[in-house]
Structure 1
Amino acid sequence: MSSKNKGFQGKDSFSRMNFLYQASMLMAGKSATLSAYYGNLCKTIGKKSVLRIDPNIKRSLCKKCHMALKPGVTAEISALDCKDEILSIKCLKCNHSKNFPINSEYKFWLENPDSKAEVCSLEKDNHKKGAKRKKTKVEDVSVVHETSQQ
């Protein structure tokens, strides 16, 4: 494959990480060690490729043993009553717990429009066989939305 048709940087690593994450979630109730192994491979590929993993995926893997956390199967979820409401997720394999504050107004940095510099998508080109890379800057996207609302 030439570099023109490849898509975006790290596409093969992202697809490999996606496969390993799905395999880890599938094995979570059946084999804890296999689930932890796949989760560890997923995180290792992300670190070696210097790619960011989505926060929802990070929260569903144990930080200590890397096993996929499924509520009621491999993880215990409870809400702690302190000064602030806290969601506690405890891994049943290694007994490691993660605490998250419950705040309905909180947004991830990735959901903030300032965090996006470029949006990449793959489109099929009618004239040629294959995918064509389409780059759009965030400023251009906001202008398109403003003009379409008028």
Structure 2
Amino acid sequence: MVKSCKGDTGHQRMNYLYQAAHCTLAQNPGNTQLARFYIETMKSVAAKLVLRLDPHIKRTICKKCSSLLIPGVTATVRVKGRRQKHMVVTCLDCKQVKRFNTDEKHVLWAHKTEAIQDKS
């Protein structure tokens, strides 16, 4: 019998809470408080189990108010810049701004080979 790793159940719980927040906003876009509660709970589970959130998930969460950033519902998305274009995501609840590089050659640190550790 194989023991379940703390990360397996933790990731499952975090995945469930993230999906619950999405479903809550899909059914009722005005119910941001419940979605925010789910995201805050997901972040606390990650902190207690010392698990990292995937960068793609982190990009959809407001760092200031823990709101789920859905374009047109809880966030506005703009592309700015003349030479070097970047995406600007603004939270509609707290007006926090996030900027993301849109360069096709840009690779996130988590996806680089030097960031990957051996689990030996």
Identify the TM-score tier after normalising by the shorter chain.
0.7 to 0.9
SS of the residue aligned with 1:64?
Answer: coil
Specify the alignment match of 1:94 in structure 2. 94
Structure 1: gaps spanning 5 or more residues? 119-136, 138-150
Structure 2: gaps spanning 5 or more residues? none
Counterparts of 1:19 and 1:53, CA distance in 2: 14
Which of 17, 22, 35 matches 2:19?
Answer: 22
- Measured at CA, do residues 8 and 112 of structure 1 come closer, stay the same or move farther in structure 2, by a change above 3 Å? farther
SS of the residue aligned with 2:21?
Answer: helix
Counterparts of 1:28 and 1:9, CA distance in 2: 29
- Measured at CA, do residues 28 and 67 of structure 1 come closer, stay the same or move farther in structure 2, by a change above 3 Å? farther
The structure in which a higher percent of residues are strand is 1
CA contact (8 A) 1:74 1:91 kept: yes
Specify the alignment match of 1:107 in structure 2. 107
RMSD: 1.8
Counterparts of 1:83 and 1:21, CA distance in 2: 35
Counterparts of 1:8 and 1:62, CA distance in 2: 29
C-alpha displacement at 1:109, in angstroms? 2.7
Counterparts of 1:28 and 1:95, CA distance in 2: 19
Counterparts of 2:24 and 2:91, CA distance in 1: 15
SS of the residue aligned with 1:10?
Answer: helix
Q: Decide which structure has the larger Cα Rg and report it.
A: 1
Which piece of structure 1 moves more, 38-47 or 102-111?
102-111
Specify the alignment match of 2:72 in structure 1. 72
> Sequence identity, in percent?
32
State the TM-score, normalizing by the size of structure 2: 0.85
State the TM-score, normalizing by the size of structure 1: 0.69
Equivalenced residue count is 116
